[in-house]
Amino acid sequence: MTDRAIELTLTLNGTERTADVDPRMLLVEALRESFGVTGPKVGCATGDCGACTVSADGAIVKSCLTLAAAAQGAHVTTIEGLGADGALTDLQQAFWDEYAFQCGFCLSGMLFAAQDLLDRNPHPTDAEIRTAISGNLCRCTGYDNIVSAVRRCSAG
């Protein structure tokens, strides 16, 4: 931490939180190291894998490409904030039922990308699902089970 630390206040998973952060800190670093929220992972730190994905003011954000300071005043949701009162969302339950994750490193990005698709397009084709999750890398599942989980949540 430099002596130029800034006070960062954001609404994190529904609760207003404040921490002193280095102005050069990335959002994923601030979430993990200053706020103790470890769902977002650092896979590549270059924007390619999606493991660090969060929602900021409703937009999907790769938090390894975002300065923490840019989230000043934002409503940030991480994977920890997806379900209400510890309950799984329908999409999380579908991932569980379809064995759509193993190590879970990709899970934040997959869930945010898939939910964003379902919110925009409740009846996605498999091709649309694959396009929607294409910014997220999974080294474990081979992707088919992830597509099945998202299809399970399709309203069609």
Please compute, for residue 41, the number of CA atoms within 13 A of its CA located in the half-sphere on the CB side. Answer: 17
How near is the Cβ of 156 to ligand FES at its closest, in Å? 26
How near is the Cβ of 1 to ligand FES at its closest, in Å? 22
113 Cβ partners below 8 Å, 6+ apart?
Answer: 50, 53, 60, 132, 133, 135, 136
Comparing CB distances to ligand FES, the nearer of 5 and 80 is 80
How near is the Cβ of 30 to ligand FES at its closest, in Å? 14
- The residues of the shown chain that bind ligand FES, judged by CB under 6 A, are 42-45, 47-52, 62, 64, 101-106, 138-141
How near is the Cβ of 24 to ligand FES at its closest, in Å? 17
Helix, strand, coil: what percent of the chain each, to 5?
Answer: 35, 15, 50
Determine the Cα–Cα distance for residues 87 and 84; give it in Å rounded to an integer.
5
Comparing CB distances to ligand FES, the nearer of 83 and 104 is 104
Please compute, for residue 54, the number of CA atoms within 13 A of its CA located in the half-sphere on the CB side. Answer: 32
Comparing CB distances to ligand FES, the nearer of 90 and 99 is 99
Comparing CB distances to ligand FES, the nearer of 34 and 63 is 63
Q: Which two tokens stand for residue 32?
A: 């993990």
